[in-house]
Structure 1
Amino acid sequence: MMSYEWHFSLYLHLKVYRELCRIRDEQKTFGKIYVNTEL
């Protein structure tokens, strides 16, 4: 039971971390596009 909960929390943390990285990358590319259109 303990190991299952540990694996589950680890999986959740990885999922959240990857989601945050993806959002950050999207914001970076969006920022580049925005800057390029402004110039």
Structure 2
Amino acid sequence: RGVSAQGALLLESAAGIASVSSGEVSVRLAPESSSENL
């Protein structure tokens, strides 16, 4: 979903938006068909 003003990763799910803060984050793209399972 983006990055907050504080630098936290913002993730959007059915439950809402979650803010994730960490020293290191690894992100990779999933195949198009797998994204429907989120």
Give the TM-score normalised by structure 1.
Answer: 0.16
Select the structure that is richer in helix: 1
Max Rg structure: 1
Larger strand fraction of residues? 2
- TM-score of the pair, normalised by structure 2: 0.16
